[in-house]
Amino acid sequence: MNEISLAQSAGRPVPEWVDAGLDALPKSLARAPQRQQSLDRAAHDLLETVMLAPRIGEVFEATVETLASGQARIRLDDLAVVATLKDGGRRLSAGAGVLVKLSAVDVSARTVTFALGKMRR
């Protein structure tokens, strides 16, 4: 779009390479929100792992958000962190308070691993 504006303001024809690319523009623009969401998620995941890396071994209070396919999705109560507990879903229910131990952090893969601890009352 900048090239079109530059060409028009200079009184020149729009470059051929710009004109040729205009047909692909709507498709590219339609994918932009999905790409932005993926970028936002990746940045958030990276921030979580960098923030939690020095805290391996700590126990956190969490709340179970959802259960599906033998996994529980948890949200830490005091930090903006959402994670998955594998095999946690069989023993938990949505809304349950649990204690989880941070057992591993992989900053390059942007993943955190929590182990299920005790249920909270």
Give the domain CATH number at 81.
Answer: 2.40.50.140
C-alpha distances out from residue 26 to 32, 39, 70, 79, Å = 10, 20, 41, 39
In tens, the pLDDT along 32-89 reads 899 999 999 999 999 999 999 999 999 999 999 988 877 889 999 999 899 988 765 5
Secondary structure class of 66 (helix, strand, coil): strand
Range of the domain at 83: 1-121
Overall number of domains in the chain: 1
Residue 78 pLDDT: 94
Residue 107 backbone phi and psi in degrees, to 5: -65, -40
Closest to 65 in 3D by CA, of 45, 85, 50? 85
